[in-house]
Structure 1
Amino acid sequence: MRAWASEAALILTLLAFGGAGSAQTSDLVSTSALRVCADPANDPMSMKDGSGYENKLADLIGEKLGLPVQYTWYPMATGFVRNTLKVKKCDVIIGYAQGHELVLNTNHYLTSTYVLIVAKDGPLADVDSLSDPRLKGLRIGVIAGSPPSTHMARNGLIGKAKAYNLFVDRRHESPTHDMMDDLETGEIDAAILWGPIGGPMVKQGHPNFAVIPLVKETLPPKLYYRITMGVRQGEKVWQRKLNSLIRRHQDEINAILAEAGVPLVTDLGDAVLDISQ
């Protein structure tokens, strides 16, 4: 868990498998540019026009390294890592969920969780758990196959749920934008999104809605994930360099995340952190 990270990227991270390599950093990592693997249409994370908050994180890392940022663009879907990082077209994925072998993870720079999005002044504004009886009988939007679906089923919320596609090419289809549009029009009563997507979307264009981190869900599957940067397997020197940058510049990273509206939670996902400036 974009990172992460988009919901599709997060699910891919949880499901995909990859093997370790033995490449040496000195052979593969560019010394003339920070070469970033990114989705060109993964709003609000990465965008080809540079407006995503992961673009701003890349700019920060490039600045600290004294290197210009260069992108290899590829849709964040099946084959993303294989067709970018693994074939050495780029050297880092800015947002990647911790815990799988498809990439070598750096230390995490954020922990976030899925969020419930509801009308700020509506009757659901203080709901903070999917077991709240006020959600019964409502039409709730959710990304199909994402972890909150299991919690919704457990609480009897799936029957009237509206599912949105998970694996899409976001250059042509945007389920998260569709979900927020449906929430605005009343097609759905509430929405559940990965926090680093839902938080910024509300801040950017939906000020009448509240973002409620789901930190009270204790049964599996977990709804919080630690997001790292991903590099090629075996590139321990490069990993350590990025770990050092993350550690020394965490406050600046947090400022970018706060400005974007990304909700942060504790490493155990059980409380919300205040990173407002």
Structure 2
Amino acid sequence: MAKRGGATPRTGLRKKVAAGLAAGALVTAMMSPGGALAQSSGLGTAGELVDQNVLRVCADPSNMPFTDKNGEGFENRLATLVAEKTGRKSVSYTWFPSIMGFVRRTLAAHRCDLIMGYAQGGDAVQSTNAYYRSVYVLVYPKGSDIAGADTIEDAKLAGKRIGVVESTPPTANMAANGLMRTAKVYPLAVDTRVTESMAERMLKDMKAGAIDAAILWGPMAGYYAKQMKADVALVPLVKEKSGQRMAYRITMGVRRTDQEWKRTLNKVIRENQDQINRILLDYNVPIIDEHDKPITQ
């Protein structure tokens, strides 16, 4: 089953640009909304169908660094934090790959109560306040003649073989600057249960000399650069003057009916932002504030 890989946020996903964010989560078994409602653990605050004892999360089983079945992703760790802060006894997952129909077959079907990573502005769910803001990054080997470039329109990128995931926001800016003619385009839909993520593949191709640089969603680039001990520079693309924006706010997604649940989560985010940031930084996620300045602690 194909899923969005290398593009995010979590992960892909869940709105027009979500294909470019890949911060995803989705599940395999189908259940009718009526059947799922009947099996809900009980009414939450204000009559909302949110489980009060277990944090029920919709997640992709193989989408690092966001989530995986072994609980190793940063969204897994964040879910544990949310459970603790909301008095839940445990976390349970509804697993579904990051493909079309994710929200409809998980959150909307009441099989779970929360999507951990959702790009702000999507219309399929109700978003909480953003708990981090990240950005696409330009990745190149240290010592490269690309050093110093900090925008897609920089002349140093002209004629370079730049890796990019198809249909993600950077492709539009690259096309406007004539960079797609020499680009290496990687597929958006891959099944990372059986193949490596596009971020990992790009870094391997860069090491082998198949590409000169890459433009990747920051959380994926940062994580795989750290995991692979890649000797690369990661430059946040926060200085683009035109075209698609490169920075996005990432939220948690809940059902539109669950207003009190949304307020509860907003309180958790507000009161635990420092701890959330530390978890993200553990995974080498490039996080930026509203003024595009890096958050480092």
The separation in 1 between residues aligned to 2:185 and 2:175, in whole angstroms, is 13
Q: Displacement, 1:223?
A: 1.1
1:3/1:10 contact within 8 Å kept: no
Higher mean alpha-carbon deviation, 234-243 vs 217-226, is at: 217-226
The residue identity in structure 2 corresponding to 1:97 is A
Residue 100 of structure 1 aligns with an amino acid whose one-letter code is G
Shift of residue 130, structure 1, vs aligned partner: 1.1
Unaligned ranges ≥5, structure 2? 1-6, 21-36, 38-42
What count of residue pairs does the alignment treat as equivalent? 266
- Does the 8 Å CA contact 2:15/2:121 hold for their aligned counterparts? no
1:154 aligns with 2:172: no
Q: Which amino acid aligns with 2:96?
A: Y
- Partner of 1:60: helix, strand, or coil? helix
Alignment of 1:44-83 (within 5 A): 44-67=65-88, 68-83=90-105
SS in 2 for 1:201: helix
Structure 2 residue aligned with 1:145: 167
SS of 2:270 mapped into structure 1: helix
Q: One-letter code of the match for 2:110?
A: K
* Alignment of 1:183 onto 2:210: no
Q: 1:253 aligns to what?
A: 276
Structure 2: which amino acid aligns with 1:176?
Answer: A
Equivalent residue for 2:229? 206
TM-score normalised over the length of structure 2: 0.84
CA distance in 1, matches of 2:116, 2:15: 13
- Provide the residue aligned with 2:253 in structure 1: 230
The corresponding residue for 1:6 is 11
1:96: Cα distance to partner? Answer: 0.2
**Alpha carbons of structure 1 residues 146 and 128: separation in structure 2 relative to 1, 3 Å:** same
TM-score, normalised to structure 1, is 0.90
Asked whether the equivalents of residues 223 and 284 of structure 2 are also in contact (C-alpha less than 8 Å), the reply is yes
RMSD over aligned Cα atoms: 2.0
Q: Which position in structure 1 is the counterpart of 2:57?
A: 36
Pick from 104, 107, 119 the counterpart of residue 85 of structure 1. Answer: 107
Letter matched to residue 262 of structure 1: V
Deviation at 1:204, TM superposition (A): 1.9
* SS at 2:84 equivalent: helix
Q: CA deviation at 1:257?
A: 0.8
Pick from 132, 135, 146 the counterpart of residue 113 of structure 1. 135
Give the Cα separation in 2 of the matches to 1:231 and 1:14.
19
Aligned to 1:126: 148
Q: Structure 1 residues 14, 43: closer, same or farther in 2, change over 3 A?
A: closer
Percent of residue pairs bearing the same amino acid type: 44
**C-alpha displacement of 1:12:** 6.1
Structure 1 residues 167 and 234: alpha-carbon distance in aligned structure 2, compared to 1, 3 A threshold? same
Q: Is the CA contact 1:39–1:47 (under 8 Å) kept in the aligned structure 2?
A: yes
Question: Secondary structure of the equivalent of 1:28?
Answer: coil
Instruction: Name which structure has the greater RCO, CA cutoff 8 Å, separation 6+.
Output: 1
